[in-house]
Homo-oligomer: A and B are copies of this chain.
Amino acid sequence: MKRLTLHGRIRSCRILVGESFQNLDSYCPRDETLLVTDRRVFGLHLPLFSGWRVLFIGRGEGAKTLAVVEGLLEEFLRRGADRRTTIAAVGGGVVCDVAGLAASLYMRGLRLGLVPTTLLAQVDAAVGGKNGVNFEGYKNLLGTFRQPDFVLTDPAFLTTLPRREIRNGLAEIVKAAVISDGGMVRFLEKNAARALALEPDVMAGLVERSLRTKIRVVESDEFEGGPRRLLNFGHTLGHALEKAGSYSHGQAVAVGMSAAARLSAGMGFIPRGEADRLLRLLRSLGLPTSAGKAGRKALAALAKDKKRSGTDIQFVFLQDALGRAAARPISLGDLKEALRAVC
């Protein structure tokens, strides 16, 4: 087990990388904790939940609503939650986001622990202090910034994940590497097959290294005025693709990163060979690199979505080589045209 710390302006978050869920009660006593999970995670790991008080929310993106948050808040009250209570979310990004928002609102903030059970949530969603729900069709439109008190990542959860979920997480691991860690890109290139096979040593190293990147970026820009934008690499088109349906988050981000890399090469920010390198890496991890018809549909949605923020939008490009990125303004027209050419 490795302990990392994300130093937030108000509170710091302890990140217990590779800790066992069995030790959860040393971070939050059972009688002062409410676990939040969904029925699928509960069903897969039934024995783990014994002796804990458990609250349930629905599964999937559809549960990311204010109504679900309100339901949790009612349940907190019914169970007598007060300033001594810890809310511990056990699940994927949706469970962490919804429980995190509810915990941040109740009595202006209860103690919060996150136990991400998907690779995606372990390397990305659970760390950084953002929570949120969707609103009127807009992804994560409502939420707060609040660092959890601790995040516990237990590799045992990863063994029950479907292959698609593993690839989702690998896409975000690739993202962490290409925006700021050239050495990690090379490590991934050499170890793609071992990563896909969830080899414990390889995964432990990748999770820890992704988290170190995320911690570094978040610490430099906790409330997202600048550098934190780099974490959106591949996500501008990615979110639009995900919303248009048929792609998982990781697949959508993989296509988004591919398009952004091609665009970066097309505009002369990186050599074309570097973009090709990223596409090869993504393919070796079983991730898609182009979208076709779904891509065109997503572009139309993107244009609608971004219209509100005026003409120029901030877009994350690769810079010089894999391992560096930079946000630059680009007009929506130019972006659409460039993306259409590479989709």
Contacts and interface: CB of A to CB of B under 8 A. Distances in A.
Contacts of A223: 10, 109
Contacts of A214: none
Contacts of A138: 77
Contact of A77 (B70, B82, B132, B136): B136
Interface in A130-173: 130, 132, 135-136, 138, 141-145
How many copies altogether? 2
A107 B142 CA distance: 5
Contact of A108 (B70, B109, B145): B145
Interface string A261-275: 000000000000000
B308 A82 contact: yes
A108 B143 contact: yes
Interface residues of A, number: 30
A132 B135 CA distance: 20
A145 B83 CA distance: 15
Interface in A98-126: 104-109
A73 B109 contact: no
Contact of A144 (B66, B108, B136): B108
Contacts of A141: 77, 106-107
Interface in A7-55: 9-10
A295 B146 CA distance: 39
A280 to B, nearest CB: 36
B83 A144 contact: no
A232 B223 CA distance: 31
A141 B74 CA distance: 11
Contacts of A74: 136
B132 A73 contact: no
A111 B219 CA distance: 22
B80 A70 contact: no
Given A80-B308, A108-B142, 20 more contacts: A9-B9, A9-B10, A10-B10, A66-B66, A66-B70, A73-B142, A77-B135, A77-B136, A83-B309, A105-B142, A105-B144, A106-B141, A106-B142, A107-B141, A107-B142, A108-B143, A108-B144, A108-B224, A109-B144, A144-B144
What 3 A-B pairs come out closest when comparing CB atoms? A105-B142, A108-B143, A9-B10
Interface of A: 9-10, 66, 70, 73-74, 77, 80, 82-83, 104-109, 130, 132, 135-136, 138, 141-145, 223-224, 308-309
